[in-house]
Structure 1
Amino acid sequence: MWIRDVRPWGGDLSDVRLEGEVVAEVRPATGGTGSATAEVGERHTDDLQGRGRLLLPAFADVHVHLDSTRLGLPFRPHTGGTGVWELMLNDRAHWRTAEVGIVERVERTLGLMVGRGTTRVRSFAQVDVDAGLERLEAVLAARETHRERAEVQVIAFPQAGLLREEGSAQVLEDALRAGADVVGGIDPCSLDRDPVRHLDIVFGLAERYGVPVDVHLHEPGELGRFSADLILERTVALGMQGNVLISHGYGLWDGTEPQTRDLVERLAEADVATATVAPGGRQTLPLELLAGKGVRVGLGEDGQRDYWSPYGNADMLDRTWQLAFTHGFRRDELVEHCLAVATRGGATIMDRSLGRLDGVGDRPGVAVGDRADLVLLAGETPTAAVMDRSPDRTVLHRGRVVAEGLELV
């Protein structure tokens, strides 16, 4: 299939040929009317017409809690308390009583995400002594429903910790046996109050089942940096470089400049990634420094209008705008870097064979040999597309059109 008259990353008008699941050729466009040259081959009715739109890698949401979504349901006022434990208890009290079943909720939200341009997803699924594997099974079912439209990795996530409720560690292991792709952890100091034991369980399961690790880290300041030190130590000791991610990491970046530079260097050396949900305030990341050192950084939407928060709308382009806005970016290069983080950056977390972003000016993902997970997006420039967030989008997964104009095909 040819994609006609598109502008890769806002560059020159081009024709792009797909062979199966990959980009096979990119060449100057042969014109919006008339037939192509004999070398290019005849135009066919099944050619995809770009209409001068941008061609970008499809989005990768690498931090989303699909199992708690309420998108599409009646709006409920926020009832959660403060702190992780109080918010978890509020979610636990309500998630079973939603207006429709959890499988339907998750499938619908994942479909909305694909329609808006996301074809790679890393979703958490809460596993604890209350939910058992019910929430995990819902996410696995949604993955199966949309298996031709998106690649989904599922994280077994101990939202309630591993040490506060008897049997939590066993449920986490059961989730890995049931098909989870990644083992999660959370606030080993502030929630479980025993970081060594918590991380020993998480990394022990990762080693036993050969899966990556993703640790939620909301801990502040020195406490957060202490937990990060323990995570880095285990990553290197177990040879898990490229297979560990620290989510959020709010408190990692409020230290001195030497502390920040030292931590970035160690993350890069151990190939430990990080994912943000662009919360703003003092919780921003040193994105330029992280990119310059080659640290893998991904973006996610977190909850989707759930019992934790009223935010989230299944649109990673909207969250890209939020990432740029909360960091105060105005230069085109930096706004476009946010797009690179939201697309290829997340993809490199899900597939470590993909090279890390090489600085804030790197624009990969639409070249010959790249997998054809793509989005055609209306916009004068990539920065303009982030600002305008047009619904005029065409989404491809593995070389097939899966959504058009925000609707699934």
Structure 2
Amino acid sequence: MWIRDVRPWGTASSDVRIEGETIAEIVPASGHVDESDIRGRGRILLPSFSDVHVHLDSTRLGLPFRSHTGGPDVWTMMLNDRENWRDAEVGIVERVSHTLGLMVARGTTRIRSFAQVDVDAGMERLEAVLAARDAHRERAEVQIIAFPQAGLLREEGSAQVLEDALRAGADVVGGIDPCTLDRDPVRHLDIVFGLAEKYAVPVDIHLHEPGDLGRFSADLILERTLALGMQGNVVISHGYGLWDGSESQTRSLVERFAEADVATATIAPGGRATLPLRLMTENGVRVGLGEDGQRDYWSPYGNADMLDRTWQLAFTHGYRRDEDIEHCLAIASRGGASIIDRDLPRLTGIDDRPGLAGGDRADLLIVAGDTPTAAVMDRLPDRTVLHRGRVVADGLELV
């Protein structure tokens, strides 16, 4: 199969030959078009997006808008979600599948989703994400993180539910704020890393903790990663408070992330310290982007569009130069992909534009725009999405 007249990363017009699931070659555009060819029409060719931090199980996309009723901290927000998520106008299985379909249609074909497991929800939310993954199995690959949103020590039986979720099919074991939520970082991390060892799964820990406290928790996670030989298998998500210290603190922490091969996933939040993206990439730290909640009981934000979230990543970092905004696209696509699939190479610098070479898997997004930066600014609906060499969406509609 050929994709005709596309511009890889905004460069010269090219034709792309696909064999099976793989890019076979990219050659200068010939002007020839067969009936079976995909028509690029001069659009930009990019790797498809990888959302490495999304909570599919709490989505309200497609439902009537609901005013926000959450409290000021993680625990009260969790209680608000717990009180309301079962009362939505549509059942959770349908909601999750609908949102996953929207994500694919907009250009995301690799997803890492959390599924909340606790003594209240049991396996119900996990089962909904598992069902959505199965429904879209030909359109996207989905990793599922068993996520103890309520902590592991505040409610009796929480650790057992987390283990039950891994037995039920979750791919990754999650953790959250070992100091501020569970107030016992040693026991919390004992449980998380103990389950990771027992079931041979990666770890992904939400870390909202501020300043020195957040850096203390990060130190404990880095130490355990090295001690257990889990390099390349641990992600610290959010990490809001890690990067507001001195320049020497930031540089030292980035170097320790690199030594332990601990990745980070950001949602490009507003009003927070930004990540040292250039420093991280230059030191070999894997960074991915995600959308977090999708207009849910935690926040009214989120629209299933990673191109929109790429704009947010560039905007919150104050980027204007093309090289920086294209770097955000690389983070949102292959940067996150290297977290989901650790066999993929990490980004090597802010000028690295991977994912469109012979031998790369044909997970692709064709999008309208004068340049990649213009595509991020305009976020036009004229998009074609390929997963493993097959067209799975066109014009924001699933095929």
TM above 0.5, yes or no, is: yes
2:261 paired residue number = 271
C-alpha root-mean-square deviation of aligned residues, in Å? Answer: 0.6
Distance in 2 between residues matched to 1:385 and 1:149, nearest whole Å: 23
Please state how far the C-alpha of 1:282 moved relative to its aligned partner: 2.9
1:39 paired residue number = none
1:2 paired residue number = 2
SS of equivalent residue, structure 1 residue 337: helix
2:178 paired residue number = 188
2:70 paired residue number = 80
2:14 paired residue number = 14
Please state how far the C-alpha of 1:350 moved relative to its aligned partner: 0.2
SS of equivalent residue, structure 2 residue 41: coil
SS of equivalent residue, structure 2 residue 112: strand
After superposition, the C-alpha distances for 1:351-401 in whole angstroms (9 at most, x for unaligned) are 011111011110000111111000000011000000000100000000000
Amino-acid identity (%):
82
The ranges of structure 1 where at least 4 consecutive aligned residues each deviate by more than 6 angstroms after the TM superposition are none
After superposition, the C-alpha distances for 1:58-93 in whole angstroms (9 at most, x for unaligned) are 000000000000000011100001100000000000
SS of equivalent residue, structure 1 residue 51: strand
2:227 paired residue number = 237
Given candidates 141, 148, 152, the residue that maps to 1:158 is: 148
Distance in 2 between residues matched to 1:190 and 1:369, nearest whole Å: 46
1:59 paired residue number = 49
Distance in 1 between residues matched to 2:51 and 2:12, nearest whole Å: 28
Q: TM-score by structure 2 length?
A: 0.99
CA contact (8 A) 1:59 1:120 kept: yes
1:24 paired residue number = 24
Distance in 2 between residues matched to 1:392 and 1:305, nearest whole Å: 24
Given candidates 374, 390, 399, the residue that maps to 2:364 is: 374
Given candidates 262, 284, 298, the residue that maps to 2:274 is: 284
Please state how far the C-alpha of 1:12 moved relative to its aligned partner: 1.1
1:168 paired residue number = 158
SS of equivalent residue, structure 1 residue 340: helix
1:73 aligned partner, one-letter code: L
1:392 aligned partner, one-letter code: D
CA contact (8 A) 1:280 1:327 kept: no
Distance in 1 between residues matched to 2:132 and 2:62, nearest whole Å: 16
Distance in 2 between residues matched to 1:391 and 1:155, nearest whole Å: 30
SS of equivalent residue, structure 1 residue 303: coil
1:46 maps onto 2:36 in alignment: yes
2:378 paired residue number = 388
Please state how far the C-alpha of 1:284 moved relative to its aligned partner: 1.3
SS of equivalent residue, structure 1 residue 252: helix
Distance in 2 between residues matched to 1:91 and 1:46, nearest whole Å: 48
CA contact (8 A) 1:190 1:219 kept: yes
1:132 maps onto 2:86 in alignment: no
After superposition, the C-alpha distances for 1:189-241 in whole angstroms (9 at most, x for unaligned) are 00000001100100000000000000000000000000000000111111111
Q: TM-score by structure 1 length?
A: 0.97
Distance in 2 between residues matched to 1:158 and 1:267, nearest whole Å: 24
Distance in 2 between residues matched to 1:397 and 1:144, nearest whole Å: 15
2:135 paired residue number = 145
Distance in 2 between residues matched to 1:85 and 1:341, nearest whole Å: 31
Please state how far the C-alpha of 1:294 moved relative to its aligned partner: 1.3
Please state how far the C-alpha of 1:281 moved relative to its aligned partner: 2.1
Distance in 2 between residues matched to 1:324 and 1:217, nearest whole Å: 22
SS of equivalent residue, structure 2 residue 4: strand
2:201 paired residue number = 211
SS of equivalent residue, structure 1 residue 333: helix
Distance in 2 between residues matched to 1:284 and 1:165, nearest whole Å: 34
CA contact (8 A) 1:70 1:305 kept: yes
SS of equivalent residue, structure 2 residue 15: strand
1:405 maps onto 2:387 in alignment: no
Distance in 2 between residues matched to 1:300 and 1:26, nearest whole Å: 29
Distance in 2 between residues matched to 1:85 and 1:280, nearest whole Å: 21
Please state how far the C-alpha of 1:269 moved relative to its aligned partner: 1.2
After superposition, the C-alpha distances for 1:297-328 in whole angstroms (9 at most, x for unaligned) are 00000000000000000000000000000000
2:80 paired residue number = 90
Distance in 1 between residues matched to 2:284 and 2:44, nearest whole Å: 26
Please state how far the C-alpha of 1:152 moved relative to its aligned partner: 0.2
Distance in 1 between residues matched to 2:86 and 2:74, nearest whole Å: 19
2:300 paired residue number = 310
Kindly tell me the number of residue pairs found equivalent between the two proteins: 399
Instruction: Provide structure 2 residue ranges, at least 5 long, that are not aligned to the other structure.
Output: none
2:29 aligned partner, one-letter code: A
2:105 aligned partner, one-letter code: G
